[in-house]
A and B are shown apart, each in its own frame.
Chain A
Amino acid sequence: MTSEAWAWLGAGIAVGLAALGTGIGIGILGGKSVEAAARQPEASATVQRLMILAIAFIEALCLYALLIAIMLVGKGKETPTAAVEPVQSQQMSP
């Protein structure tokens, strides 16, 4: 497999694993905050604000992985190798 293919594969795995953790984290967070708002409806404004703040932090972690994926794809691009004649063959021509 070429290195470009490995780079794409790595990018996909990076974002997939990061999204897994983010999904679990935000899921637990959302569930707990909805539960808290249901227990005490007067605090629902505070709970909503805290939930959005915490979601921003967790989402940033997933976006770090997306940044790494984009960097991987950018670095993995192979430049097309031009057909360069070696120097010896030119010198050997009479």
Chain B
Amino acid sequence: MYELKRRVLLALPPVLGVDFSITNETLLLWLAALITFVVLRLACRRRNVVPQGAFENVIETVIEFIEREIVRENIGPAGRSWSSFILTLFFFILFCNLMGLIPLPSHVKAVTSNLSVTTGLAAIVFLVAIAINIKLHGVLGFLRKFWTPGIPWWVAAPMVPLELISWLVRPITLAIRLFVNMMVGHHLLFLFIGFEMVSAWYLKTIPFLGAVLMTGFELFVCFIQAFVFTILAAVYIRDAMEAH
């Protein structure tokens, strides 16, 4: 865990109390955005309808998979206009997560294992949901979503705050779920390597095998968590579009 500390590379003076220094995590964020841009651009460079070659086919398969889950959530033409946002979100989170598997501990880590990064991503999704709500239903219509008409006041009084809280907690759980999965993956890997370092020579292979399996599970978790974040973003957008 000591090798995964954030290292400040270019200390910039704080602007309005916010520290804007460039750390190695900032560079990794930019690298992930660059990789997302380059990969998605390269996959669409040839304008054929049918993708050719392995790379285009893989990206096309992933895009089709995501679009099937999106269009099934937000059915209709409105779903198509959101697919670029959802796809970018998915690929960005996927590449951020996958960078955590590169074994250069003092330079490269999964940027999404920083709570600020996942909070930023969840805040974007949350703001998008609020913006859709206010644009489609107005502020009053948005607030009316938390109240079911025709219920007695002694049921509505506890129900409305509970609905509000359960709606406000959605971006929090979105951020924490992604953060916890990535951070805990690192920690468990360090735990297994620690076991391997302190065990006797005849027992060393067992924790090492555990570390290898843990890395494989980490790869699985990277994909799954990117997919879960994306599908929850699509569900929140669909919930925002629905009129109560």
Please report A residues at the B interface, Cβ cutoff 8 Å.
52-53, 56-57, 59-60, 63-64, 66-67, 70
The prevalent SS among residues of B at the interface is: helix
Cβ-defined partner of B231 (8 Å) among A53, A64, A67: A53
Inter-chain contact A66/B180, CB cutoff 8 Å: yes
Inter-chain contact B184/A67, CB cutoff 8 Å: yes
Residue of A nearest to B177 (CB): A60
Residues of A within 8 A of B177 (CB): 57, 60, 63
Instruction: Given A63-B184, A67-B184, check contact A52 B176 (CB 8 Å).
Output: no
Shortest 3 CB-CB contacts between residues of A and residues of B: A60-B177, A63-B180, A56-B228
Number of interface residues of B (CB under 8 A): 13
Inter-chain contact A66/B224, CB cutoff 8 Å: no
Inter-chain contact B181/A60, CB cutoff 8 Å: yes
Residues of A within 8 A of B231 (CB): 53
The prevalent SS among residues of A at the interface is: helix
Cβ-defined partner of B225 (8 Å) among A56, A64, A66, A67: A56
Inter-chain contact A64/B228, CB cutoff 8 Å: no
Can you list 21 residue pairs at the A/B interface with Cβ under 8 Å?
A: A53-B227, A53-B231, A56-B224, A56-B225, A56-B227, A57-B177, A57-B228, A60-B173, A60-B176, A60-B180, A60-B181, A63-B177, A63-B180, A63-B184, A64-B176, A64-B180, A66-B180, A66-B184, A67-B176, A67-B184, A70-B184
The docked-state distance in angstroms from the alpha carbon of A30 to that of B183 is: 26
Inter-chain contact B228/A67, CB cutoff 8 Å: no
Inter-chain contact A70/B187, CB cutoff 8 Å: yes
The docked-state distance in angstroms from the alpha carbon of A67 to that of B224 is: 19
Residues of A within 8 A of B180 (CB): 60, 63-64, 66-67
Residues of B within 8 A of A52 (CB): 224
